[in-house]
Amino acid sequence: MVDFSHNMKRSRRLQMCLLLVCCFSVIGMTMGATPPKAMNVPFSKNYMPTWSPDHIKYFNGGKEIQLHLDNWTGAGFHSKESYLFGYFHMHIKLVAGDSAGTVTAFFLSSNNNEHDEVDFEFLGNRTGQPYILQTNVFTGGSGNREQRINLWFDPTKAYHTYSVLWNDFHITFFVDDIPIRIFKNNKKLGVKYPFNQPMKLYSSLWNGEDWATRGGLEKTDWSKAPFIASYKGFHIDGCATSVNAKFCATKGKMWWDQQKYRDLDAAQYRRLMWVRRKFTIYNYCTDKVRFPKMPIECKADKDA
């Protein structure tokens, strides 16, 4: 005899599961979301050398470059345009082997005394030790908001994507679409937030042996030079504007201004907390020696 009651219960459970899947899909669509995929364009479309152009090597029709660091100099490049809000990313393969003392940087910065800045800094290490990723946010010329994590993969074996989503609500750092840090707009609490100073994008490979590895205890081994960092993915999805502009002409109309990008969704927050629990090795918010009084944004925002 067939147990129809069992089959009906099983059917109800299946329908409930499908309903939950649909609900979570809708939530993911209406809250946080992954930015659109970028186009693959040549370096020269959006960038130009900043210094030591002879230490920049071009491949694949300019769609891939390398920065070289030796005991004479490193190299750097910057965007041709300045931007006020947007999504900024780069595919980077970091210096392989013994990279102690080297710093590979990818950041946004305005050019004035009270500048705004949003930093990725990759701190080299001795062979076998994890790369340290340091992030920082400067507002109105003031920084001191360092956070450090150990990367959970070997960033020298393949390209990984490092990106920043910057809008009027938050600045979020991503590693391969995983949020590792969020700095929210807390202007109402008196915390300065970058909103009216256009920034250029910069990247560089340079010698930071005075501080980069174990506080400067590990020095650069120049017998391993040249040190090489590789780049591709030179598309920029931002509001290009004059360096003196105070307002983006398309503000409110771009995809990064829309409701679903005004915060992370539940899944993204879980991944952020995963990074905090397993890989964070320094957070200025919890440094009571440097900050006996917790910074306002840390006290107000558990996600800082």
Alpha carbons 265 and 24: distance in angstroms, whole number: 10
> What is the reported pLDDT for 289?
97
In the numeric block, the tokens 């560089």 are attached to 204
pLDDT (mean) for 177-199: 95
Over residues 74-123, the pLDDT tens digits come to 999 999 999 999 999 999 999 999 999 999 999 999 988 899 999 999 99
> Could you confirm whether 297 is annotated as catalytic?
no
Question: What 3-state DSSP class applies to 284?
Answer: helix
In the chain, the domains with their CATH numbers are 43-301 (2.60.120.200)
State whether the Cα torsion 207-208-214-219 is positive or negative.
Answer: positive
pLDDT (mean) for 247-263: 93
Q: Phi/psi zone of residue 165: left (φ > 0), alpha (ψ -120 to 50 degrees), beta?
A: beta
**Other beta carbons within 10 Å of 137:** 25
pLDDT beyond 80 at 196: yes
Kindly state the tokens that stand for 54.
């002879």
Lowest-pLDDT range, 26-35, 44-53, 132-141?
Answer: 26-35
> What is the reported pLDDT for 40?
86
Query: Of residues 64, 81, 114, 121, which has the active-site annotation?
Result: 121
| Residues 19 and 208: beta-carbon distance below 8 Å | no
**Cα→Cα distances 2→41, 198, 301, Å:** 63, 71, 57
Of all residues in the chain, the percent with pLDDT exceeding 70 is 88
pLDDT beyond 60 at 23: no
Over residues 131-143, the pLDDT tens digits come to 999 999 999 999 9
> What is the reported pLDDT for 10?
46
| Residues 249 and 86: beta-carbon distance below 8 Å | no
> What is the reported pLDDT for 304?
63
Alpha carbons 248 and 241: distance in angstroms, whole number: 7
> What is the reported pLDDT for 282?
97
Lowest-pLDDT range, 1-5, 49-53, 239-243, 263-267?
Answer: 1-5
> What is the reported pLDDT for 302?
67
> What is the reported pLDDT for 111?
85
State pTM to two decimals.
Answer: 0.88
> What is the reported pLDDT for 243?
86
> What is the reported pLDDT for 37?
73
Alpha carbons 144 and 99: distance in angstroms, whole number: 25
Closest CA to 90 of 247, 303, 238: 238
Query: Of residues 64, 117, 209, 297, which has the active-site annotation?
Result: 117
Closest CA to 95 of 73, 67, 63: 67
Alpha carbons 125 and 100: distance in angstroms, whole number: 4
Of all residues in the chain, the percent with pLDDT exceeding 90 is 79
Closest CA to 207 of 123, 132, 130, 135: 123
Confidence of residue 164 (pLDDT cuts 50, 70, 90): very high
State whether the Cα torsion 207-235-231-136 is positive or negative.
Answer: positive
pLDDT (mean) for 243-257: 90
Alpha carbons 28 and 101: distance in angstroms, whole number: 41
Confidence of residue 186 (pLDDT cuts 50, 70, 90): very high
pLDDT beyond 60 at 19: no
